[in-house]
């Protein structure tokens, strides 16, 4: 038995990364939210940073959609649930429209989502039309909603771009180049919105600029041209209450901020009570049965982490007591004895794991991977610039996603503690891909 709901949905894509997808998705979400519409936004692929901006723009949680990592059924369920409560659903693509396995185009084709392409036109004129035409015609069966020119130099430039299109009906307008709504970046992606005092002002400026385009002038009636019938199984599998009665402490601050909102939902669905703390600012851990140290930017906060000796003692005591710990990427980095940053600073960190982490200028690993655990296989990804040098022997390694190949070995899974209660890896897990396996990370006894 299935259920169906109908709602306007738009997937915002581009020919490559860095074209302005996030800016346009945020501007569109902010514009319609200001007009009183209920907007939900999703991010295609495993991204932690864009969702901070998208959530600020829409006022609602942002989840990930990926036909492999989250799974087709999971994508269908999340889109359907959002559509039931929304006037507009926006999906921001990943990289270029056809990049990746699976790609944003694959997602759009699977669910019949109309695609809006954003092209950085700052250094082109007539070629804009050729690029737009190529994106539209490259694959049969994609539903297109037009093209928007970004970082345009002048109104005259915009006219040239519009006239270059073979199909004038595809023109959705131009956003001029402006520092007022520029979203700054650093080595792992966008700077988080919470780090910028003028984040909302930037989004409002982007929304104001978009309001002057054909795209921004679409009202509730015009949005119906993007309507999609979203179908889902009436009842999905129940999540077992394996963490019922347990309290899981989650590190969450500027140093530990790579957290999928859906992972928190999964832990709650497993029955866990979640409490949050800041390793940067708090003197100790909250009362808890298990600990999750997610990824983030420990390399940007090495001094503050090193100086919080009370937190170091609390985490060491938690591990020594045999309580479970799951540490991923940045969370694992903080557990080592030393951290060397890319600018040659060295900080002593928590020392729970022997060895040193070194941040380098180039990417060390990137891509979708999966990790086998006692409860089953978790899907996820890896993306980091650091490497670790440790005498610990891995107890397991991640494997590439089906159809992909690893460059070198998979990510190591390390264990430590009196009962092997600490598990750590560079691997970022998507808990909902296997809730039983996710629960095993936070239980003393295997489920």
Three-state secondary-structure class, residue 265: helix
Length of the chain: 447
Dig out the tokens for 181 from the structure: 């709504």
288 is catalytic: no
Q: Crossing angle, helix 104-111 and helix 72-84, to 10 degrees?
A: 60
Dig out the tokens for 297 from the structure: 């930017």
Closest CA to 333 of 307, 309, 351: 351
Burial label for 148, CB within 10 Å (0-12, 13-18, 19+), is buried
Query: For residues 257 and 163, what is the distance between their CA atoms, to the nearest angstrom?
Result: 44
Dig out the tokens for 332 from the structure: 């694992």
Closest CA to 223 of 313, 125, 114, 317: 114
Query: For residues 5 and 232, what is the distance between their CA atoms, to the nearest angstrom?
Result: 9
| β-bridge partners, 379 | 370, 430
Across 37-85, the runs of DSSP E, i.e. the strands, are: 39-44, 63-65
Which residues contact residue 40 at a Cβ distance below 8 angstroms, ignoring those fewer than 6 apart?
58, 60, 82, 83, 85, 86, 88, 89, 90
Check 7, 266, 329, 388 and give the catalytic one. Answer: 329
Query: For residues 19 and 2, what is the distance between their CA atoms, to the nearest angstrom?
Result: 38
Cα torsion 4, 117, 217, 85 to 10°: value is: 20
| 271: phi then psi, degrees, rounded to nearest 5 | 105, 0
For strand 273-277 and strand 247-251, is the pairing parallel, antiparallel, or unpaired?
parallel
Burial label for 436, CB within 10 Å (0-12, 13-18, 19+), is middle
Q: Which residues are catalytic?
A: 329
């Amino acid at each position: 038995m299935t259920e169906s709901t109908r709602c306007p949905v738009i997937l915002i894509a581009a020919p490559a990364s860095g074209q302005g997808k996030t800016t346009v998705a945020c501007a569109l979400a902010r514009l319609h939210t200001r007009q009183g519409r209920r907007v939900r936004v999703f991010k295609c692929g495993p991204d932690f940073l864009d969702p901070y901006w998208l959530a600020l723009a829409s006022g609602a949680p942002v989840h990930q959609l990926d036909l492999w990592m989250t799974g087709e059924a999971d994508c269908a369920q999340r889109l359907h649930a959002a559509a039931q409560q929304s006037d507009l659903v926006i999906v921001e693509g990943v990289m270029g429209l056809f990049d990746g396995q699976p790609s944003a185009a694959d997602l759009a084709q699977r669910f019949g989502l109309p695609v809006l392409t954003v092209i950085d036109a700052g250094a082109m004129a007539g070629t804009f039309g050729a690029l737009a035409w190529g994106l539209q015609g490259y694959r049969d069966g994609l539903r297109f909603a037009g093209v928007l020119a970004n970082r345009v130099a002048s109104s005259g430039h915009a006219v040239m771009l519009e006239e270059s299109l073979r199909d004038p009906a595809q023109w959705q307008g131009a956003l001029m180049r402006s520092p007022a709504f520029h979203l700054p970046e650093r080595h792992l992606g966008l700077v988080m919105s919470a780090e910028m005092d003028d984040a909302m002002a930037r989004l409002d400026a982007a929304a104001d600029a978009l309001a002057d385009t054909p795209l921004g002038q679409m009202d509730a009636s015009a949005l119906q041209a993007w309507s999609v019938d979203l179908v889902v199984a009436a009842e999905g599998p129940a999540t077992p209450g394996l963490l019922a009665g347990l309290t899981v402490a989650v590190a969450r601050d500027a140093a530990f901020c790579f957290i999928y909102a859906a992972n928190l939902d999964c832990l709650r669905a497993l029955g866990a009570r979640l409490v949050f703390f800041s390793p940067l600012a708090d003197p100790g851990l909250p009362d808890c049965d298990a600990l999750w140290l997610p990824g983030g930017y420990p390399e940007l906060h090495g001094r503050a982490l090193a100086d919080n000796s009370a937190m170091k003692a609390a985490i060491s005591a938690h591990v020594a007591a045999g309580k479970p710990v799951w540490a991923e990427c940045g969370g694992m980095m903080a557990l080592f004895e030393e951290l060397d940053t890319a600018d040659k600073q060295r900080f002593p960190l928590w020392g729970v794991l022997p060895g040193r982490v070194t941040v380098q200028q180039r990417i060390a690993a990137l891509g979708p991977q999966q990790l086998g655990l006692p409860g089953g296989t978790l899907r996820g990804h890896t993306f980091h610039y650091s490497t670790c040098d440790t005498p610990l022997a891995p107890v397991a390694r991640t494997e590439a996603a089906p159809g992909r190949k690893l460059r070198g070995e998979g990510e190591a899974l390390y264990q430590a503690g009196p009962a092997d209660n600490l598990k750590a890896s560079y691997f970022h897990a998507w808990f909902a891909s296997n809730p039983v396996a996710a629960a095993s990370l936070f239980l003393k006894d295997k489920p």
